Amino acid sequence: MTKYKDNQNLSLLDAIPEGIFVLDKELTVLFWNGILEDWTKISRKEIVGKHVKEFLPHLIKPLYTNSLQQVFNGGAPIFFSSHLHKNLIPSYLPNGNRRIFQTVVTAIKNSNATDKFNALFTLQDVTDPTERLREYRVIYDKAKKAEETIKVSKLEAEAANRAKSEFLANMSHEIRTPMNAILGYAQILKRKGLSSEEKQYVENILSSGDHLLTLINDILDISKIEAGRMEANFEDFDLSEMIQSLEIMFRSKFDFKSLDFVVNDLGKNPILVNGDNTKIKQVLINLLSNAAKFTDSGEVQFNVYATGNNNYQFEVVDTGKGIPEEAQQSIFDPFKQEREGVVKGGTGLGLAIAKRQVELMDGKLELISTYEKGAKFSLTLELPPALESCVAQSKSSREIKHLSHGYHVKALVTDDIKMNREVLTNILKEVGIEVITAENGQEAVNLVREFLPDIVFMDIRMPVMNGLDAMKIIKNEYSNKLVKVVAITASVLDNHRNLVIELGADDFISKPFKLDDIFNCIKNLLLVEFDYQEDISKDQTKPKISKIDSSDIQFSKTLHSDLIEAAKLHSLTQLEKLLLELEKENNGEVYATHIKSFMSNYDMEGLLKFLGETQVK
Amino acid sequence: MILTPDQEDAIKEFINIGAGHAAGALSELTESHVKLSIPAIKVVKLADLEKEDDSFTKEISSSVRINFKGFTDGTAALVFPPASALKLVSLVSDEEFGTPDMDSVQAGILTEIGNIILNHILGAIGNIFQQHLEYNVANYVEGEIIKLIEPDDSTPDLVIMIIDTQFNLKDLEITGDVVIFFKLGSLTKFVEAVENVLS
């Protein structure tokens, strides 16, 4: 104890910015430094020489006395953490908060007896960092809770979005399936010998059905856009042809309303560009339809400008009522229709879809309108030149009458819904295609094995075995050339369509069926030809020579030269004999039929040309 | 192998007594029953350890370290994977801190736990040698275990005692290691001491 009376040591221990005190084995306070006087308001004079319990009563709890025993025996230092020993030394800050300490107790030799040890307590004030940590924890907790809330909301939103997409796909299927029967039968009916009145009724069914389909597609389109599932599909096309087709499409509409329709196009020469043909056309149809709907007198202008750097500007200008300024802001918002729009009908989605479609193509759609003086919609798009030198042939607008003479196609129609089966069967039978039907995938697989059809139309959603599984089996068992499989899908979602192609379908057609799509699909996959309505008269005088890629044919050398010889001699009898031989060759029947069509037309020059292009084994 | 199975068993016995005392101290601190068991003890040279276990040099851990000196010098450490350390701190303090990293308050609690355990285990080893050791104050260290070794001591012959330590606290099990590095030259003394105990 005398040691602590040393003035120099005292001032040294008082100067250290930590609380220091010493206990002997009997728990008597031997020393109490200046900082502790300040922190605890217990003076050194008061406490030194007293038993610790008089001032710090909990230090005599077994928790502490047991540990201290180790120190009094000269053992290892003890560490008391601030969090677990909050009340070790009561001390308060001027603001009333408890001071927080971290304490180390070390054994120091008793100066009087070297084998005895005292306990030196060193208290470090950690109030400030601890308070800061506490504040940090509160902030952290809040942030974590907020993050969790966001995470939960995000998961909920994703689930809702998935449910929406699922609903979308189902609704698309559910609505389009009955529409398929309505529009399919109407198309078949139209081909029958109807009176003009009946024809008009059928036309009405078709146009109303088409309109209903447009409305459904609009709603599906906007849902697809909102779900981020609409994609731009770029392809080469002739811009000039598109403008002309729009002119033809709308001319009669404007004429009907006695409106002038002024088209300032870029000339009639082909302008081959690369862009999303379907979406551009859809946007322009939308703008022109609106002009037709909202203009009662005056004119509608359709202007197309090439503004340089592959940029094109399309303007639809009308002399209608125009759009009130307050409505101009929201005209591109979904389901927002200004009063006039409500009166005239529609979903109020057209412009919202158009705007998003244009954005998807990195273009700009703007409205300039003065109320009472008409509206001008301006569409600006970059359309780089076509990638390929030639653009795919435009679809024939002629009506298909029958499979060309000499072609035979056997088709298998697979659909669990009877009405769908019947519609497609009738469509195909009408043009001379032989049809067998199946109600599910399993039945389709069995029929393919039995009859080996040229083409299988396969619905996807079916009981027993779905279309995808059946398709896989068929594709596994038969080569691509032998059996073509066309998936029938009512889904409008691009990824569903891509999936069926990825899984091995050669093509897909959508419900409701479009006759052109079906026939084009057959034509492209089986390389067959059709006779068209307008071709019939020609056929009577000069049978149509169907196109066959003659480079695919390989005759034996003798047969080839004999055929040329006979053709040169115009010897039909000799040719007929040679054709019997040809029919025995691989694929010979098809080519024999082809040659017969030259013969029946007495076109020996054409036959010689055809034979000249064929290869010899 | 540095120690024979008999020698290892003898050490295990001593250390279990130390662990028992440490568990008593921890029970007092937490006011709930704490069980501390030592399922296995291994004494290896650093060179051999590095060959069989790269967690020493690669894995980050939360440790409490004490240096000791006397008839043998070295470092003792209580080593946990960081997540286990946080869990132990939570159980001992009966508080969920919520933050993902060890802060100074939590490090303080772990230091106190480590201090108690290491003191008792080192005390038990002191008893094997029947000699007194001096210790410095425990401190918290975060990083690879290998960094607990003083650079001068990191020789292939460094003897390391690894004591598997199993805490059972409030019905939960937490596993850690007590790792003791004995400075160069202490191995022979160590084996001799163990032999004395056995005889």
Residue A284: pLDDT band with limits 50, 70, 90: very high
Domain end point (choices A473, A499, A533) = A533
Q: Is A367 on the interface with B (CB under 8 A)?
A: no
Considering only CB atoms, which chain A residues are within 8 Å of B95?
83
C-alpha radius of gyration, chain A, whole number: 45
Q: Where are the alpha helices (DSSP H) in B78-103?
A: 82-93
CB contact under 8 A, A66 and B28: yes
Q: Is residue A77 part of a domain?
A: yes
Is there a single domain that holds both residue A6 and residue A45? yes
Q: pLDDT digit string (tens) for A176-235? A: 777 878 888 888 887 777 888 888 888 878 877 877 777 777 777 777 676 666 778 788
Residues A153 and A243 reside in one and the same domain: no
- Contact list in B for residue A104 (CB cut-off 8 A) is 137
Q: Do B105 and A144 touch (CB under 8 A)?
A: no
- Tokens 């139309």, residue? A457
Task: Please check whether residue A199 lies inside any domain of the structure.
Answer: yes
Co-location of A288 and A185 in the same domain: no
Q: Cα–Cα distance between A526 and A431 in angstroms, integer?
A: 15
Q: Does A309 touch chain B (CB under 8 A)?
A: no
Lowest mean pLDDT among A36-45, A242-251, A461-470, B184-193: B184-193
Q: Of the ranges A92-101, A218-227, A539-548, which is most confident?
A: A92-101
For residue B66, the chain A residues in CB contact (below 8 A) are: 76
Look at residues A199, A226, A253 and tell me which one is the last residue of a structural domain.
A226
> Searching chain B, which residue's CA lies closest to the CA of residue A73?
B132
Q: What pLDDT does A118 receive? A: 92
CATH number of residue A218's parent domain: 1.10.287.130
Q: What is the pLDDT of residue B134?
A: 84
A127: chain B residues, CB-CB within 8 Å: none
* Domain containing residue B193: 5-198
What's the confidence (pLDDT) of residue A226?
Answer: 67
Read off the CATH number of the domain in which B111 is found. 3.40.1550.10
Q: With contacts defined as CB-CB under 8 Å, which chain B residues touch A77?
A: 115, 135-138
Q: Are residues A220 and A301 in the same domain?
A: no
CB contact under 8 A, A137 and B97: yes
Find the CATH number of the domain harbouring A468.
3.40.50.2300
Is the pLDDT assigned to residue B16 strictly greater than 80? yes
Neighbours of A367 (CB within 10 A): 17
Distance in angstroms (rounded) separating the CA atoms of residues B142 and B140: 7
* Distance of residue A43 Cα from the nearest chain B Cα, in angstroms: 28
Whether A172 has a pLDDT exceeding 70, the answer reads: no
Same domain for A377 and A408, yes or no, is no
CATH number at residue A48: 3.30.450.20
Residues from chain A that touch B109, judged by Cβ atoms under 8 A, are 81, 83-84
Nearest to B108 among A67, A82, A140 (CB): A82
Residue A129 has pLDDT above 90, yes or no: no
> ω before A512 within 30° of 0 (cis)?
yes
CATH of the domain at A259: 3.30.565.10
A406 and A479, same structural domain? Answer: yes
Residue A114 neighbours by CB distance under 10 Å: 8
CB contact under 8 A, B98 and A140: yes
- Whether residues A88 and A24 fall in one domain: yes
Residue A395 lies in a domain: no
Tell whether A411 and A495 lie within a shared domain: yes
- Both A507 and A407 in a single domain? yes
Cβ-defined contact of A133 to B25 (cutoff 8 Å) = no
* Together in a domain, A96 and A17: yes
Q: Do B108 and A129 touch (CB under 8 A)?
A: no
Residues B138/B118, Cβ–Cβ less than 8 Å: yes
A127 touches chain B (CB under 8 A): no
CB contact under 8 A, A83 and B28: no
Residues A426 and A445 in one domain: yes
Residues of A in contact with B123 (CB under 8 A): 75-76
Q: Which residue in this structure is represented by tokens 């995470």?
A: A151
A514 within some domain:
yes
Report whether pLDDT(A532) > 80. Answer: no
Chain B partners within 8 Å of A79 (Cβ)? 108, 111-112, 115, 137-138
Residue A70 lies in a domain: yes
Task: Please state the domain count of chain B.
Answer: 1
Kindly determine whether residue A81 and residue B135, on different chains, have CB atoms separated by under 8 Å: no
A557 and A503 assigned to the same domain: no
Nearest CA in chain B to A77: B137
Q: Quick one: closest CA in A to B108, which residue?
A: A81
Q: Between A and B, how many CB-CB pairs are < 8 A?
A: 69
Amino acid in position B123: G
* Domain residue limits at A606: 545-616
Per-residue three-class SS string for A94-141 = CCCCECCEEEEEEEEECCCCCCCEEEEEEEEECHHHHHHHHHHHHHHH
Evaluate if residue A538 carries a pLDDT over 70.
no
- Does residue A62 lie in a domain region? yes
CB < 8 Å from B in window 82-101 of A: 82-84
Alpha-carbon separation of residue A144 from A138, A158, B98, B99 (angstroms):
10, 21, 9, 9
Q: Inform me whether the pLDDT recorded for B170 exceeds 80.
A: no
Which one of A206, A226, A246 terminates a domain? Answer: A226
Mean pLDDT of B124-128: 80
Confidence of residue A391 (pLDDT cuts 50, 70, 90): very low
